[in-house]
Amino acid sequence: MKSDKIVLSGMRPTGKLHLGNFHGALKNWVALQDKYNCYFFVADLHSLTTAYDHTENLAANSEAMLIDGLTAGLDPQKCTIFIQSDVPQVSELNTLLGMITPLGWLLRNPTYKEQIQELLKQKYAGQLDEKSLGEKLSSIAGDEDISSFGFLGYPVLMATDILIQQAAYVPVGKDQTAHLEIARDLARRFAEVYGEQVFTEPEPLYTNVARVPGIDGRKMSKSYHNTITLGEDIDSVRKKVMAMFTDPNKKKANDPANPEGCVVFAFHQIYNPNAAKRCEECKAGAIGCVACKKELFALMEPELKAFSERRKTFENDKAQLDKIVAEGRERAAANAAKTLAAVKKTMRLVK
């Protein structure tokens, strides 16, 4: 029986999603919609925290993300699908929660420091020598264009997304539990300051996330240009699979190799039901890398082709997309309005 407890999750719109998004989040969302009262959203406001000056494709990217979600199996009859900025109550509650958030919570946030460093590395890659980059990384602020008020306060916005919908659970990997702490802390702080527990304290809903590396072995990310995109041309995917990194110590087809760290084997673990056997064959030098890549592509091709065909049905039906967005906005805003009204009454902003 489906639970009435709310599960909430969202992703930033950066264009078409890639296989890392698909296996790391989307497939899990599709499964959860049959078990809980799910709210899934396009986090377009979060995109502004790091790319406020690059909004030319933001609306198109939001639509592309919606299409990918629907193609993957999200059903608006089973879950609420909405765009973050369509719900004005989110921005209002974000302001109110920002008023009670200690600055120290944000400055000590390890994710803030890590993201600053990662963004600086990407921004100045090839432009600064190692010493100059190190000097920038030594400062928490590092760069005025990156270290904005919105970027510093993004954990409050993230907490707002969760608290305003009264989410009981947020799907996370076991290494991401810390991301929920500020939402839990803010729920408690609000009760301490105003004497009433308005918010549901969210709990982590641990998920088994498939490891999907980029074709170069790093994390799959558009910023690294190492992705396989959902709906990508099948010939392009074939070329990328054949270019995937393997064990550099394997010089000949019959040389034994170490599958750990091999990008091709990581994908076999997702697509190949006989991945354990392939691991042993690799270690024994019983198969060459080219043959292994060809087999991997043959395993991936049917699913990727089917996805591309399903995607076209949503791409070509703008009226249906508009209807789904409007219905999602209405449901998400109605639920958020209840929370915001309780917050404003508790804070004595209204009688």
Using pLDDT thresholds of 50, 70 and 90, give the confidence band for residue 120.
low
pLDDT at 222: 85
* CATH 3.40.50.620 residue window(s) in the chain: 6-101+153-211+318-346
Per-residue model confidence as pLDDT tens digits over 37-73: 999 999 999 999 878 888 999 999 999 999 999 999 9
Segment among 5-19, 129-143, 241-255 with least mean pLDDT: 129-143
Mean pLDDT over all residues of the chain?
90
Fold of 231-312: Tyrosyl-Transfer RNA Synthetase (1.10.240)
- pLDDT of 142 reads 47
Average pLDDT score over residue span 211-232: 90
**pLDDT of 125 over the 80 cut:** no
pLDDT for 123 beyond 90: no
178 band by pLDDT with thresholds 50, 70 and 90? confident
For residue 291, pLDDT over 80 is answered with yes
- 179 vs 288, which has greater pLDDT? 288
Which 3-state string (H, E, C) describes the chain? Answer: CCCCCEEEEEECCCCCCEHHHHHHHHHHHHHHCCCCEEEEEECHHHHHHHHCCCCCCHHHHHHHHHHHHHHHCCCCCCEEEEEHHHCHHHHHHHHHHHHHCCHHHHHCCHHHHHHHHHHHHHHHCCCCCHHHHHHHHCCCCCCCCCCCHHHHCHHHHHHHHHHHCCCCEEEECCCCCHHHHHHHHHHHHHHHHHCCCCCCCCEEEECCCCCCECCCCCECCHHHCCCCECCCCHHHHHHHHHCCCCCCCCCCCCCCCCCCCCHHHHHHHHHCCCHHHHHHHHHHCCCCHHHHHHHHHHHHHHHHHHHHHHHHHHHCCHHHHHHHHHHHHHHHHHHHHHHHHHHHHHCCCCC
Per-residue confidence (pLDDT) for residue 211, from 0 to 100? 79
Q: Which CATH class is domain 6-101+153-211+318-346?
A: alpha beta
The 10s digit of each residue's pLDDT in 293-305 is: 999 999 999 999 9
